[in-house]
Amino acid sequence: MNEAPAAPAEPKPPDPEPRERLLAEVAALPALPGVYRWLDAQGVVLYVGKARNLKRRVSSYLHKDHGGTRIGQMVSRIVGLETTVVRSEAEALLLENNLIKTLAPRFNILFRDDKSYPYLKITASRTAEAAGAPSAQRYPRMAYFRGAVDRKHRYFGPYPNAWAVKQTIQLMQKVFRLRTCEDTVFNHRSRPCLLYQIQRCTGPCVGLISAPDYARDVRDAERFLLGETQAVIDDLQAQMMTWAEALEFEKAAELRDRIGSLASVLHQQSVEASSLSSLDKDVDVLAVKVAGGRACVNLAMVRGSRHLGDRAYFPSHVDEGAAMPAEEADAAAQGSPRSPEQAVLEAFIVQHYIGQPVPPQLVTSHAVDGGLLDALSEASGVRVRAQHHPREQRRIWLEMAAKGAELALARLLAEEGSQQQRTRALAEALELDIADLAQLRIECFDISHTAGEATQASCVVYEGHQMRSAQYRRFNIEGITGGDDCAAMRQVLMRRYARLTTARLPDLVLVDGGRSQVAVAREVFEELGLDLALIVGVEKGEGRKVGLEELVFADGREKVHLGHGSAALMLVAQIRDEAHRFAITGMRARRASVRTGGSKLEDIPGVGPRKRARLLQRFGGLRGVASAGVDDLASVDGISKDLAEEIYRALH
């Protein structure tokens, strides 16, 4: 009997088109603040943005014809949408910043997460425990500091660079003569040091100044750093007159010299203290310059009414990010783009000041969205104001910052042009078949050791016309005869490429060495079945003179002498020297660790050789010391509770 044919299954309704699905998602969005993320077909995040009104903001992308603009290019690639609703615009600002730094979307302007600013630290005084405390704790010291601040000491800054901190310390030594020596040095002095002889310290280590007088100098120094310059000068003048009336002319002359030094500083800064308002004590000046597809934000810091210097920042994805419409709701609804300078400036403010102390006053070269400032104020707890048409002293500061941005950007463009020329010259000299030279990837290896001790290999990466430090690698070399560079090279190449697929191989592998190292590299690549044409050795020329290097090939080609002054040779030397620098710094650190077992402890003030030895012996090495708690550290003979806290902070 014939069986009846099975009834055909009902066809499933086709999935809606991505565009229709997106429109449906957008229609269901709430009119609340939040963060949105546009995704492409592979699930890669294209853009992260925040909004006061998610529905209105997101729909502005899809309900307008953006044509062939960069935002149109992004919209044409959008397939998915992710949103997160938050309670306030400040929360949206925080979340947007975290997502941008984590995901690094192509259409967001991205700054490097580099906020490690130095500070000037003045240690806390322990006058309440003067009777039993070491004498050093009664006399605060000035020090350069970089790291996480705490409430125990006083910190002034941040400063744009280490040079600015050290210059300020020199000024403070000259005017207020505070000590800078370590506590261990202070407690073991029997006579004043050279700084006292040249009048840069008052000699508290040997009792040449009383604790109350030294405390007064510390207060004056702190007031000066906080911008109370005129008040400090007035107090010094009053003290000078008091000494003069008492016929103590030497002491009066000393105060006169201090006042002269302060006046000289104010003159160098081109600032009259009487003309500055309280808002000018702490100001950040931001100037933006965009040219040649690159941008520069120059940040000048004014702290305590003193111009401390500037620092330039160079973002990536400038063209893509600048094309995105403004975050302001009304502007977004109209789809009107910001100027590139304004887009870069607002991106910098968002990414730089989240998690970083922000001054109450910003002076900017371009207008900043008021909603952004409100959100930043709410997130930081500081009422932040911005001014982009300043007058008087602020105008001078802004002009200085703008000139600095212009010069820094011009220098960057010149360097990038030179690097691209070098990359092109090397590709032509080696006849590399690379369509896009920005994709050329070069890896370079070097070996470093000291008479066979602590052998370490380095691998540095050159890609996109620049060194990629985030992709550098170091390799500890074990199980070889000390000083055998060929065996070390074999080990590092095998460890590097044994697990790499051909799709991830570099276009060129530079080996710092001649025929012997190239022969070892050839053996490794033959074992792994890799292309021998990738290997190039950098052989030193006659007399090991710079500029006479020759390139040695593993596939049998003749040596190549690029010639002194060749752009290709300059690039090879740049990469090789970076590999050598990276290897030797790693080797030195490893050698120090092997020899002492506690190099990190050596950098902690108050931990001398005896205390370091006791700590290492008690806890079985540096790892044990790092895992110990404060109470455990304080149980070691000679380690006080305060020192135990310092050790714990330093190791964590």
Quick one: what percent of the chain has pLDDT higher than 70? 86
In sequence order, the 6+-apart residues with CB closer than 8 A to the CB of 34 are: 50, 51, 54, 83, 84, 85, 86, 92
Instruction: Return the H-helix or E-strand segment holding 320.
Output: helix 318-322
Architecture of the 437-594 domain: 2-Layer Sandwich (3.30)
Whether residue 510 is predicted with pLDDT greater than 70 in this model: the reply is yes
Per-residue pLDDT, 623: 73
Q: What does residue 112 show for φ and ψ, rounded to 5 degrees?
A: -65, 140
Q: Helix, strand, or coil here: 389?
A: coil
The band of 633, judged by pLDDT with boundaries at 50, 70 and 90, is confident
Can you give the residue ranges of every domain in the chain?
Answer: 18-103, 118-275, 281-410, 437-594, 597-651
What is the rounded CA–CA span in Å between residue 255 and residue 386?
Answer: 39
Whether residue 331 is predicted with pLDDT greater than 50 in this model: the reply is no
- Fold designation for 597-651: DNA polymerase; domain 1 (1.10.150)
Least confident of 60-74, 97-111, 160-174, 274-288: 274-288
Sequential DSSP letters for 523-550: HHHHHHT--GGGEEEEE--GGG-TT--E
Per-residue pLDDT, 545: 65
Per-residue pLDDT, 114: 63
Whether residue 286 is predicted with pLDDT greater than 90 in this model: the reply is yes
Per-residue pLDDT, 287: 95
What is the rounded CA–CA span in Å between residue 261 and residue 259?
Answer: 5
Question: Running DSSP on this structure, what letter comes out for residue 449?
Answer: E
| pLDDT (mean) for 137-166 | 85
Per-residue pLDDT, 1: 44
What is the rounded CA–CA span in Å between residue 471 and residue 111?
Answer: 18
Per-residue pLDDT, 591: 66
Q: What does residue 306 show for φ and ψ, rounded to 5 degrees?
A: -110, 130
Per-residue pLDDT, 289: 93
What is the rounded CA–CA span in Å between residue 531 and residue 555?
Answer: 9
Least confident of 59-68, 123-132, 389-398, 578-587: 123-132
| pLDDT (mean) for 584-597 | 67
CB atoms within 10 A of CB 14: 6
Per-residue pLDDT, 4: 47
Sequential DSSP letters for 60-128: HHHSS--TTSHHHHHHHH--EEEEEE-SSHHHHHHHHHHHHHHH--TTS-B-------EEEEEPPP-GG
Give the tens place of pLDDT for each residue, 232-281.
777 778 878 887 877 877 778 877 777 776 666 555 554 444 444 555 67
Distances (CA, A) of 352 to 113, 115, 380, 628: 8, 7, 12, 35
CB atoms within 10 A of CB 564: 12
Whether residue 9 is predicted with pLDDT greater than 60 in this model: the reply is no
Per-residue pLDDT, 501: 61
Class of domain 18-103: alpha beta
Per-residue pLDDT, 622: 74
| pLDDT (mean) for 90-107 | 87
Instruction: Return the H-helix or E-strand segment holding 645.
Output: helix 641-651
**Cβ–Cβ < 8 Å for 440, 434:** yes
Give the tens place of pLDDT for each residue, 403-444.
999 999 998 888 888 888 899 999 988 888 888 888 899 999
The band of 136, judged by pLDDT with boundaries at 50, 70 and 90, is confident
pTM of structure: 0.67
What is the rounded CA–CA span in Å between residue 320 and residue 38?
Answer: 14
**Ordered alpha helix ranges (H), 104-228:** 162-175, 183-187, 194-197, 211-225
**Cβ–Cβ < 8 Å for 458, 469:** no
Q: Helix, strand, or coil here: 48?
A: strand
Per-residue pLDDT, 280: 63
Least confident of 155-164, 238-247, 420-429, 548-557: 238-247
Per-residue pLDDT, 479: 85
Least confident of 15-19, 46-50, 374-378, 452-456: 15-19
Question: Hey, do 18-103 and 437-594 end up sharing a CATH topology, with the first three levels equal?
Answer: no
CATH 3.30.420, domain 281-410, yes or no: yes
**Cβ–Cβ < 8 Å for 538, 572:** yes
Whether residue 322 is predicted with pLDDT greater than 80 in this model: the reply is no
Distances (CA, A) of 214 to 168, 507, 526, 645: 19, 64, 72, 26
| pLDDT (mean) for 48-66 | 84
Instruction: Return the H-helix or E-strand segment holding 457.
Output: strand 453-463
| pLDDT (mean) for 34-43 | 90
Q: Helix, strand, or coil here: 34?
A: strand
Whether residue 285 is predicted with pLDDT greater than 90 in this model: the reply is yes
The band of 335, judged by pLDDT with boundaries at 50, 70 and 90, is very low
The band of 12, judged by pLDDT with boundaries at 50, 70 and 90, is very low
Q: Which residue has the tokens 């604790």?
A: 211
What is the rounded CA–CA span in Å between residue 26 and residue 59?
Answer: 6
Angle at which helices 211-225 and 162-175 pack, to 10 degrees? Answer: 140
What is the rounded CA–CA span in Å between residue 432 and residue 534?
Answer: 10
The band of 546, judged by pLDDT with boundaries at 50, 70 and 90, is low
Helices (H) and strands (E) in the chain, counts: 23, 18
